[in-house]
Structure 1
Amino acid sequence: MEDVEFLHLLKMVEVVMLRVLHLENWKSFHEPVDFTMIAGKERRHNDTLFSGGKGRVLPTTAIYGANAAGKSALLGAVHRLRNLVFDPRARGQRLPYDPHKLYGTGAPTVIGVEIVLDVPDTSSKRDAIVYYEISYTAERVVAETLYRLRSNDEEAVFTRDGQEVELYGDLDGNDYVRALARTVQVNRLLLETLANSEEEINGVIAGVIQWFKRLTVIRRGAPFVLMPQRIAKDDDFRQVMGAELSTADTGICDVLFTRVGREKVPVPDEVLDHIEAQLVDSAHEGFLSVAAGSVVRVRRDEAGDVSYERLVTVHKHDHGAFELFLDQESDGTMRYFNLLPILYWAGQRNSRGVFLIDELEDSLHPKLTEELLRRFLSVTGEDQRRQLIFTTHELHLLRSDMLRRDEIWLVEKHDHNSELIRLTDFSDKGVRDGADLPKIYMSGRLGGVPRI
């Protein structure tokens, strides 16, 4: 069944930071564009910036634009790159390829990221910074490169031109990696081959693989897949989620798993039979996504019996309490519920990570959207490696007490090509520090609004 997914237990994980995203011939972006999280010369909210060498890095960015301008495509490029790294392809299988339909069909798509890793840089006291880029069509990988960015120069880790791979430094002396590089398939990335190999990979390569593995992308309508597992295993996390939902005036006071009969699980018997066969003993359990946002926990007890528990919300009223399955909650409640782990995670000491969220305000009241952003920013700083990058239409956030001008980007489409503009690029149009940004934006002077 397409709506049933067997989820294994995962941990809340950490990555470090995104500095630059480079795109060419990707969906509505035909011409080369660079989206950067490196801070400009703004003076507001300097205390929120991360100072990790090679320029200060922004903790958050809001991306505005009209419908179909290309906002979702921008975040989707990082998601695509991640999938290419972890989804192995059989020999001859086509790569997922989405060039610009009007100008770029048949030409390579280029996606590159400059990222800070959770790996020490050997030439300085900071974390390693690398640039990874691929160029590909539906049939083949055209080029693939990984460079380490040092204090004053850059150093190649590996380069690839078609099937010709050059390894440098420690990689050149690694016989296992050299063997993989000589035999990498035309439709597979070298990084993907390394990420899916049986041998342990160390150093910068391991750092890049972990960066992609731990990146969190929350697309519109998608659940936060770690939520049920954390609620089941972490009572502190569960209590915080319930308290946050209560504070947001949702009427919910708790979230928990409650036992249900096997016949109450909306999944065919043959699927349940298959899952039960995988539960060898009480140390094994699984999570079934059975409806929009609704999850069932399946586990075997010490006696060998299988139990089913469904995630519910608890509502208090004057005469007691009642429970609702998650799919019975409103869209707004579910959206906020799936974003709450960001606040929990950001509030943990020394936590690191990057969240990409498409349409942050989707189904949310403006006050909840503002509160989410404000509380995230309250735990950022020069030694905190946390980022929240989101697309939005919410004008309420276009205020200087919320965001710096270099934290606001506009996506505008001209002649069927998406263009990316930073708000600080409009200083000559009156967009100075303290300007009425919502009024200026809605006037159309900056673009990024529908032409009606």
Structure 2
Amino acid sequence: MLVEFSIKNFRSFKDKTTFSMQTAPYLKKHKDTNTFQFPSMNLLKNAVIFGPNGSGKSNVFEGMATLRDLITNFAAPKGRGIPKLPHQPFKMHDSNENSDTEFEVILHLDKILYQYIVSFNENQINYESLSILKKSKDECLFIREYDQEEDTYHYWLSSKVNDFRNLTRKNILYLSILNQFNDTHAINIVNWFLEDLQIVRTNYELKHYGHLLDRLAEDKNLKDNVVRLLRVADYNIIDLELKEKRQKIPGFIKEYFEYDDEEEFIEYTDVFTVYNRFDSNGELLGATSLHADSFESRGTKKMIIIAVILLDALQRGKTLLMEEFDSAFHLAISKFLMKLFNTKLYNKSSQFILNTHEVSLLDNDILRVDQIWFVEKDKDNNSDLYSLYDFNDANDRPRSDITYANDYLKGKFGAYPVINNHVFDYNFLHRSEDE
């Protein structure tokens, strides 16, 4: 599970910024439903990042996706690698453009608390370390640091870590090399990024989720649960039909992706939504099906995909990052899903991190103050990420009865667009009275 993620000098984040899924101290509200309780710490099941468009909230997810790409692009021994590393520094200040991007992640995996740090530019890894965090004394597994004056790397390797320095190039992570040679700790971390971290973008065309639809076709129980979830969310879909299709591979596609000469077709799963069909008197005639990608609305297709992703995550204990959670959903459905994320009965080991600008989701009946985060930009276009927990009362304790939405709309927490209405008096579009 994700404990913390920190970014520095990445896109709109100039300074080191930390997002945490660890519960804040002293909070008891929704403890039994909204948190996982471990001997070493308590973690949140769900967090929501609020902020206006352009504030940088998506860059938190992009940072996690970039770290995943950095780790997993070199995870396979026969991988081609990439000529340049994904260095995307803060470009609003000339002192940052040539500086390293830095990521730090803390993960709770198999009862072990890992801390992994990496710093890099577009050409090479400049710093990398892996540690196991413990109550008494942290255990460092390795440190790798580039010495610019000597143009070489200095390593510190624990006795538990094998020496593969001669196999490690400047643009390859030592963590990835350890993974290739079956180091247990490296495998745990790389597998979490490969299998347990899922980032849901804003494209909800069903054809882009073939791997999930394949699971839906193979697992009748999963499909039945998806239909049940759709019905609970007030969709009239009574079933989903999944049909295997074959499509001939165009020649230029075969050449570009290096298909074998024998491969003439690709197979994929197509989805049809099934509805009850009635006559003019309202009598049930039977069922009819629609090709989902052709006839269903964006919202319905999104709900089908989200239902599959959500139930898959709940079943497999994944950490799910979802962009623009509120788009294409009715508010009631969004709140229903958030309640499901935080349920004691259904969510045993999954985390759901959402970003949105839907103020109505600031619901203190669903969320704790430590589950709510805000992002805003300062005058230098630097994004700032902070928790609602930071806004404490006189006793330095968060108020459990705070009216989140009203106070947010009043600007109490920041991260709210300020519109200068006086510009209307100054003809800011330079319109003439004759137009």
TM over 0.5: yes
8 Å contact from structure 2 (residues 314, 349) kept in 1? no
Q: Deviations over 1:376-425 (max 9, x none)?
A: 211379x9432111111222221211000011011011021001111011
Residue among 70, 82, 103 paired with 1:84: 70
Residue type at the aligned position of 2:201: R
Does structure 2 retain, via aligned residues, the 8 Å contact 1:38–1:55? yes
> Partners in 2 of 1:256 and 1:272 — Cα distance?
30
Contact 1:132 1:145 in 2 (8 A): yes
Aligned residues: 388
The more displaced of 397-406 and 245-254 is 245-254
Query: For residue 316 of structure 1, what is the amino acid of its counterpart?
Result: N
User: 2:363 corresponds to which residue?
Assistant: 399
TM-score, length of structure 2 as denominator length = 0.82
Q: Bigger radius of gyration, 1 or 2?
A: 2
C-alpha distance after superposition, 1:151-180 (max 9, x if no partner): 222111111102333221321xx3xxx23x
User: How far does the alpha carbon of each residue in 1:47-80 deviate from its partner, in whole angstroms, 9 at most, with x for none?
Assistant: 1322223331111111001111111101111111
Between the aligned residues of both structures, percent identity stands at 26
Cα 1:347–1:158, aligned 2, differ >3 Å: closer, same or farther? closer
Other-structure match for 2:418: 451
| Shift in alpha-carbon separation, 1:92–1:333, aligned structure 2, 3 A | closer
For 1:346-361, list aligned pairs within 5 A: 348=315, 351-361=316-326
The counterpart of 2:344, out of the listed 373, 379, 387, is 379
**1:114 matched to 2:78:** no
CA contact (8 A) 1:313 1:326 kept: no
Encode CA deviations 1:120-145: one digit per residue, 9 max, x unaligned.
xxxxxxx0001001100011111011
Match for residue 290 of structure 1? none
For the residues of structure 2 that align with 1:316 and 1:449, how far apart are their CA atoms?
45
> Counterparts in 2 of 1:167-206, with a 5 A limit?
167-171=157-161, 174=162, 178-179=163-164, 181-195=165-179, 197=180, 199=181, 201-206=182-187
Asked whether 1:53 is paired with 2:39, we answer: yes
Paired residue type of 1:166: W
- Aligned AA (2:109): L
CA distance in 1, matches of 2:69, 2:369: 32
Match of 1:293 in 2: none
Question: Distance between the aligned counterparts of 2:224 and 2:340, measured in 1?
Answer: 18
Q: Which residue of 2 aligns with 1:156?
A: 140
Look up the match of 2:238. Answer: 253
CA contact (8 A) 2:292 2:301 kept: no
- Residue identity in the other structure for 1:239: D
Partner of 2:141: helix, strand, or coil? strand
SS at match of 1:208: helix
Q: Distance in 1 between matches of 2:244 and 2:202?
A: 30
Judging changes above 3 Å, is the alpha-carbon distance between structure 1 residues 130 and 342 closer, same or farther for their aligned structure 2 residues? same
The corresponding residue for 1:142 is 126
Residues 266, 240 of structure 1: alpha-carbon distance in 2 compared, 3 angstrom cutoff: farther
Q: Secondary structure of the equivalent of 2:411?
A: coil
Q: Is the 8 A contact 1:343 1:372 kept in 2?
A: no
Summarize the Cα distance change of 1:249–1:50 in structure 2 as closer, same or farther, 3 Å threshold: closer
Q: Aligned partner of 1:206: which letter?
A: I
| Partners of 2:134 and 2:215 in 1: CA distance | 38
Q: How far 1:340 sits from its partner (Å)?
A: 1.0
1:434 aligns with 2:405: no
Structure 1 unaligned spans of 5+:
1-16, 119-126, 280-284, 288-295, 298-309
1:418 aligns with 2:383: yes
Listed as ranges, the gaps of 5+ residues in structure 2 are 147-152, 279-284, 420-435
**1:321 aligned residue:** 288
Corresponding residue number in structure 2 for 1:42:
27
Cα distance, 1:445–1:52 mapped onto 2, change above 3 Å: same
d(CA) in 1 for partners of 2:228, 2:97: 51
- Decide whether the 8 Å contact of 2:272 with 2:289 is kept in 1: no
Q: Contact 1:143–1:160 at 8 Å: present in 2 too? A: yes
